[in-house]
């Protein structure tokens, strides 16, 4: 198919769009990448247009071809400290759904309440362009969280608790610089994850129908991951074989203590998780589902 892909292509702080472009081309499709804003190509030359987080509703409505979006965000966190963000995202998603023909979303909870019939649950995937890196040895800080402490009071409290208990053994990557957090992706992030003894995911945001793509990325980069329990995620990775799940913070700490001194168990789980990711959970796998659904629903 010929796809007009309108998104934030190529920025240093985001690799998802480039990974999706690569996956679609690997599947044999022609992809024209154009930035969000004025589209300077003849849209009629393409089978459909693909967007991610575009809010230019008039531009989408004016296109003479079918329009499809793929949203990665959690729409309604139900966290009191994020009320303003949730309200904005609910309005945005209602407007975007109205003007497009089909939508794919990481947020399964939002898809479940959809009444338009346009929305489909589709997780993100691992970037096949970044291979499983060699593990770096001798990291002083052996417990790693890759992300921002910000994102709701519950998430902040979990990170604060980890910092208090594990002190210098716990690292948040990347660190704030001049009050701002750098966004690190690709090989730099992959080597950091592969070199950590344990990668930890906080208990928010996570539901039985939504998890951050950092779960798939971390395991796909060869990381050993302890993650909050999610029913949906159990269909992707097996507990104690490819990932380790916790159901409350007491269990989280017990699992950290257990696996911190068991390198052979960690090695087996991380290798099995990586193999499962490359077999079933790459962006190529996800884009194959996206294209099949587009062809079935729109053509």
* Residues pairing with 64 in the sheet: none
Average pLDDT value for residue range 19-23: 95
- The span from the CA of 153 to the CA of 108, in Å, is 22
pLDDT digit string, tens, across residues 232-270: 999 999 999 999 999 999 999 999 999 999 999 999 999
The pLDDT value given to residue 183: 63
- The span from the CA of 234 to the CA of 231, in Å, is 5
Contact of 274 with 223, CB cutoff 8 Å: no
Residue 174 clears pLDDT 70, i.e. is over it: yes
Average pLDDT value for residue range 56-76: 95
The pLDDT value given to residue 8: 84
3-state SS assignment for residue 217: helix
pLDDT digit string, tens, across residues 121-150: 999 999 988 877 776 655 667 999 998 888
Residue 180 clears pLDDT 60, i.e. is over it: no
- The span from the CA of 98 to the CA of 37, in Å, is 20
- The span from the CA of 227 to the CA of 265, in Å, is 16
Tell how strand 180-181 and strand 176-177 pair up. antiparallel
The overall pTM is greater than 0.85: yes
Residue 38 banded pLDDT, cuts 50, 70, 90: confident
Look over the chain and give the mean of its residue pLDDT values, rounded to a whole number: 92
Give 252's Cβ-side CA count (13 Å radius): 20
Q: Which of 229, 205, 203, 208 is nearest to 112 (CA)?
A: 208
Contact of 194 with 92, CB cutoff 8 Å: no
Contact of 142 with 173, CB cutoff 8 Å: no
The pLDDT value given to residue 184: 66
Phi, psi of 223 (to 5 degrees): -85, 150
| Chain centroid, CA 296 distance in Å | 25
Length of the chain: 299
pLDDT digit string, tens, across residues 97-122: 999 999 999 999 999 999 999 999 99
Residue 40 banded pLDDT, cuts 50, 70, 90: confident
């Amino acid at each position: 198919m010929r796809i007009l892909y309108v998104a934030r292509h190529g920025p240093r702080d985001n690799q998802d769009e480039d990974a999706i472009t690569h996956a679609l081309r690997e599947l044999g499709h022609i992809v024209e990448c154009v930035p969000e804003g004025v589209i300077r190509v003849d849209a009629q030359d393409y089978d459909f247009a693909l967007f991610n987080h575009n809010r230019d509703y008039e531009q989408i409505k004016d296109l003479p071809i079918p329009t499809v979006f793929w949203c990665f965000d959690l729409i309604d966190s139900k966290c009191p400290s994020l009320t303003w963000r949730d309200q904005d995202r609910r309005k945005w998603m209602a407007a975007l759904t109205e003007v497009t023909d089909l939508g794919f979303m990481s947020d399964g909870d939002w898809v479940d309440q959809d009444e338009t019939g346009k929305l489909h649950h589709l997780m993100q995937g691992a970037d096949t362009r970044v291979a499983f890196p060699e593990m770096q040895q001798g990291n002083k800080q052996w417990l790693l969280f890759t992300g921002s402490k910000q994102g709701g009071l519950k998430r902040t409290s979990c990170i604060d608790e980890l910092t208090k208990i594990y002190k210098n053994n716990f690292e948040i990557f990347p660190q704030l610089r001049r009050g701002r957090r750098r966004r690190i992706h690709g090989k730099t992030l992959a080597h950091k994850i592969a070199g950590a003894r344990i990668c930890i995911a906080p208990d928010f945001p996570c539901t039985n129908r939504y998890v951050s793509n950092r779960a798939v990325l971390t395991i796909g980069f060869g990381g050993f991951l302890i993650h909050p329990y999610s029913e949906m995620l159990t269909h992707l990775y097996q507990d104690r074989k490819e990932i380790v799940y916790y159901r409350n913070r007491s269990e989280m700490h017990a699992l950290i203590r257990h696996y911190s001194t068991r390198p052979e168990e960690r090695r087996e789980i991380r290798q099995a998780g990586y193999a499962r990711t490359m077999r079933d959970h790459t962006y190529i796998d996800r884009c194959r589902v996206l294209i099949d659904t587009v062809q079935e629903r729109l053509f």
